[in-house]
Chains A and B, each alone.
Chain A
Amino acid sequence: MSRIWRVGLLSATMLAAAPAHAFIAYVSNEKSNTVSVIDTESWTVVKTIKVGQRPRGIDFTRDGKFVMVAVGDDDTIQVIDAKTQAIVDSLPSGPDPELFAQDAAGKVLYVANENDNTVTVIDLEKRVRLGDIQVGVEPEGMTISPDGKTLINTSETTNMAHFIDTATRQIVANVLVDARPRFAEFKHDSSELWISSEIGGTVSIIDPRKHEVIGKVTFEIPGLRKEAIQPVGIGMTKDDKTAFVALGPANRIAVVDTATRKVTKYLLVGQRVWHLAFTPDEKYLLTTNGVSNDVSVIDVAAQKVIKTIQVGELPWGIAIAP
């Protein structure tokens, strides 16, 4: 029985592994001040890079040549060369950068500085600061509309999503959402903007043209107190049909049908699941689990957790090479 099972598993992994490309994932470990590099073919950590203090927001440049990581306690964004895996430069953010977003062309970077109520605008080619945008108290989540015209910034204290015109750098609208908005994600077709509220325990769905909340995703897990359900990271499939929402200390990822806005499944991943990222072929979804100090790998089609990889302490953000 168990042998058949093993053979089955073996062939299944071979089937799964054979046509897939190997990708490289970078994970920021907030407490150990490192970045773990994961190879998605072997699903192992192939390198651990020492970075500055309190690394959180992390992303690749659009050309895939560099990885940027916000090191909040060092008040800067470090630039890692993806080839040599060494730190080669830094970007001029404001104090305590937490998270950032870049435009579709990869030319402009917007940085949320947690301690300073500002968003810093950086020219990514010249690596110089272009200016600042004053936003609400404690800017938190950050994303750019697919057309690049609107920057969304969520504020932890005012519980608002600020819509910023990237051309004039002025706030054009504020939308009230539930308590402590954490993360913002557009549908690829720009029709909806999803914003997670960590304390409110919901995801608000906003019509980005009308600046109105048009729906809400709620979560319920039998046996779990409401306050243990803290939505943070959101990932949307390219066809916009399925969203995955990380639920923090509920230790689960919610799979949401975007048409009905209902949860279809909860996947137990790791403790305090925070952010997530798809592999470019969208076969796998990787999640960072802050308390269990690991990364879970979800098979997107099967909606199943297939692997757990130990990384550094308090893994926070994740970026996968394009």
Chain B
Amino acid sequence: MKSGKLFKLYIAVFLVFLYAPALLLPVFAFNDSSIVSFPLKGFTLNWFNVLWETEALHTATKNSLLIAVSTAIISTSLGILAARASSRYKFRGQKAVMGFIMIPLVLPEIIVGVSLLVVILQMGFDLSLWTIVLGHVLICTPFCVAILSSAFLNLDQSLEEASFDLGQTKLATFWLVTMPLVLPGVVSSMLISFTISLDEFIIAFFLAGTEPTLPVYIWGQLRFPQKLPSLMALGTILLILSLTLLATAEYFRRRSARKTGIEDAGGFL
């Protein structure tokens, strides 16, 4: 009995530590005081107004969205190629190749950031948003490969053979049969790489030229205490956006699972 109670307490503490800080964001975002502390002063939308009027923030947001969308598309495309190759074909050195693709998953980002910086500068390229995309693709691809591999492995190979046997070309088979069935995996892969890229800081910090991303901008603003409440407002918006994104993705995953009767098509959640 006693250990059961302890276990419940542990779960409660665990969840509080996990989510309480995030829940504080909206609380202070609407608090009418430039000092982030209790007791609360009153309700205001002022901090959202501040965000609205900060030009630099808009630029940083646009940069981040551009990078995140590009990263999601590129790393998911690469992931599809790698996952399909590893699930359909056997080739010499396959295990080693797949292993090397997955390594950035455990490589410290600071090492990736510094080494990319050195290489890019040595090769005489300028730092830009695209150098950040390059870095983000590098760290996102392993996640995409992992998600998409399970989607491709769950796909019955005879479905593709049947399509080919019925007279379709291999390319049409890919679009008519393979893609619709691995789509939930593709959506999950895009979503996770988008999210990783959007809040990635270290690589973006090293590889950003004159154009900061949103996390880099936020980090820069932390030096000014009076900016803190507006950052709370920004955090609130990001929180709601990512929850909406997750919910949407999960909705589509479940819908397609219902439609095809396939239980696990590589959804992330």
Is the A/B pair a real complex? Answer: no
